[in-house]
Amino acid sequence: MAGFAILMTIMILGVVGIVIASILSVTLYRIGKRRVHCGVSSRRAIVVGAAAPFVGLLWFVLAFLIHVQISNRIAHQDCGLSGDPYVTLPNGYVLGSLNTYSGYIKAPGYETDEPVAGPGYVRSIDHKTSSVRSFVFDTRTLEFRASEPKTQEGRPLDPSSQAALDAWGDAQTHVHIDPDSYWKMYYRYRHQWPKYVFLTILAAGEFGIFFCVRESWKMPRQPTV
């Protein structure tokens, strides 16, 4: 579900970007034609002005791809628009989530396509039931502590039982609000500097495109006699 939501976000941003670039391109094309008729700029300015918005859009995509590589390879975290949001803790453990609620902890040096459980991984306690039981895994001491089962905990969840569904919903809510929950830890250890690098690269490229358009629109120099 998270991957589909991200795909839809990218598609919507792409459509919006193309529409905005098209409107700007037509606007700059018309302005360039007027300036040519007035003898202020050359026909080259029309081409530069009309192409500039699409070049700017392509630069945005390129800057974001660079941002993805910096985030993954240098900051060791996701780029902020990923179906697998993850961060690397100071001790090398990876804290990730394959969707909004299903978090995992991966020890340094362990790799797998779909982390569920096993050596180096903590994600599920019991695959045979759908029981709700919270746990805490201390990556410093490797200590694992699970909550003591109550009356309805530790039993398979009955989808037709409202109490079971409420218990499941409550567990999902705590994923977001508990002090040691996945999302609290995610934001606590997430680096912010890759975002600023992305904005710097983006601003530098867009300013360069704006400078090229402005230079092409300057009044041609009259030959001296």
- pLDDT tens digits for range 135-168: 677 777 767 676 665 554 445 555 566 776 776 6
Q: In the predicted model, what is the mean pLDDT of the chain?
A: 78
Length in residues, the chain: 225
Residue 89 has pLDDT above 50, yes or no: yes
Q: In the chain, pLDDT over 90 holds for what percent of residues?
A: 31
| Residue-wise pLDDT tens digits, 31-65 | 878 776 665 567 778 888 899 999 999 999 999 99
**Per-residue confidence (pLDDT) for residue 203, from 0 to 100:** 96
pLDDT of residue 128: 46
Tell me the domain boundaries of the chain.
Answer: 2-75+194-216, 86-190
Q: Which of 59, 24, 79 is nearest to 207 (CA)?
A: 59
- What is the pLDDT at residue 38? 63
| Residue 175, pLDDT score | 65
Over residues 90-109, mean pLDDT: 78
Higher pLDDT, 186 or 133: 186
pLDDT band with cut points at 50, 70 and 90 for residue 124: low
Q: What pLDDT sits at residue 192?
A: 95
- The answer on pLDDT for 112 being more than 80 is no
pLDDT interval class at 106 (50, 70, 90): confident
Q: Tokens 């695959």 correspond to what residue?
A: 127
pLDDT at residue 109, rounded to an integer: 81
The more confident residue out of 35 and 202 is 202
Lowest mean pLDDT across 39-43, 79-83, 169-173, 207-211: 39-43
pTM of the model: 0.75
What local confidence, expressed as pLDDT, does residue 117 receive? Answer: 60
Six token digits for residue 97: 């989530």
Q: What is the pLDDT of residue 56?
A: 95
